[in-house]
Amino acid sequence: MLTEQVFNIICPIIEKDMMTIKNNVIDYAILGSSSGHYGWKEVRFCDFDIWIFCNNISDIGMISGIRNLIEDIKAVVKNENIILLADAINGPYKPEIWRIDSKDILFLHLLIDDSQSYNERSIFTKLSWSKYEAYYNKYLLKTLLDRMPTEYDLLHSKCGILRTLDSLHCGVIKYNQINLSTGLQLIVEFNRESTQYIEFILHSVMMISRNRARLSKQKEADCLENTGFAEWYEKMYGDSFVRFIAEYKAKVSDYGYGVIESITVLEKMTICWLIKLRDELEEIYEKK
């Protein structure tokens, strides 16, 4: 499916359905590769990120409205050669798709925040999202960025190198999820056997490398899609591992996570890359 066509189909439905829950919704935005920010592309596995900023994340009326949104989008795409999946979960979560066969996959990834939950997000998540325009106040995500990150954040923050290393050493990742039937919030865990663990590795390498570039105020971190950024990163820092990861991400978008031959090898390579980057940054940080 072409991401531009998906965007043009889904956005009017979101606009309409947001009006039914406007008493609780402050604003919303489309994030990531389906936003058009990095251009449009043909994919078999489309991750459509919808960020919703609300007054109360636990409001039952809003959760009901989101269920209606999912059903309305499902009604539009039901006659297409597409499988629609949806979840409200924080983090680089993707459905358990090992192999993409005859039908494409469209995943509606709901990222729901109120002021408290947004404040708890990583400073690098806030910075990365600040480039996107919200629907009612296009500068909202930029105004919600309360400060700029530092080298210390790249090492120690939620999306930083040290916490990523801890997760890989433990072999477990944890995400906050909102149950779209009950509205209850819970913590879900995934281990090394899951596709979510693979996606966590792929996403972490891309995001940490982009965040390193953001610290140096390199515009390429926020204007190039993964493949283009990885090629630029290799020229800038002499690091080919990010390109290796970007190539895998592209394959996953076409074929599913079954293209990863060995999770163990991927994990070990990523740990080595993170340790090397950690040592480089700690040396820089100590000098400052």
Beta strands in the chain (DSSP E): 25-31, 45-54, 82-89, 104-113, 172-178, 185-191
Distance, CA of 17 to CA of 28 (rounded, Å): 12
Residue where the block lists tokens 């630029």 = 232
| The pLDDT of residue 249 | 95
Q: CA nearest 178: which of 13, 65, 10? A: 65
Look up the pTM and report it.
0.94
Phi, psi of 64, rounded to the nearest 5 degrees: -65, -40
Q: CA nearest 222: which of 1, 38, 35? A: 38
| The pLDDT of residue 240 | 96
| The pLDDT of residue 102 | 87
Tokens representing residue 234 in the block? 């290799």
| The pLDDT of residue 286 | 58
| The pLDDT of residue 287 | 58
Distance, CA of 134 to CA of 248 (rounded, Å): 30
Distance, CA of 185 to CA of 89 (rounded, Å): 9
DSSP 122-152: -HHHHHHHTTSPPSSSTTHHHHT--S---HH
| The pLDDT of residue 78 | 80
Q: CA nearest 118: which of 180, 181, 216, 26? A: 26
pLDDT tens for the 288 residues of the chain, in order: 889 999 999 999 999 999 999 999 999 999 999 999 999 999 999 999 999 999 999 889 999 999 999 999 999 988 678 999 999 999 999 999 999 998 999 999 999 999 999 999 999 999 999 999 999 999 999 999 999 999 999 999 988 999 999 999 999 999 999 999 888 999 999 999 999 999 999 999 999 999 999 999 999 999 999 999 999 999 999 999 999 999 999 999 999 999 998 999 999 999 999 999 999 888 876 555
Cα diameter, the chain: 60
| The pLDDT of residue 256 | 95
Measuring CA to CA, how many Å separate 269 from each of 184, 209, 235? Answer: 37, 15, 20
| The pLDDT of residue 106 | 96
Measuring CA to CA, how many Å separate 81 from each of 77, 106, 284? Answer: 8, 10, 51
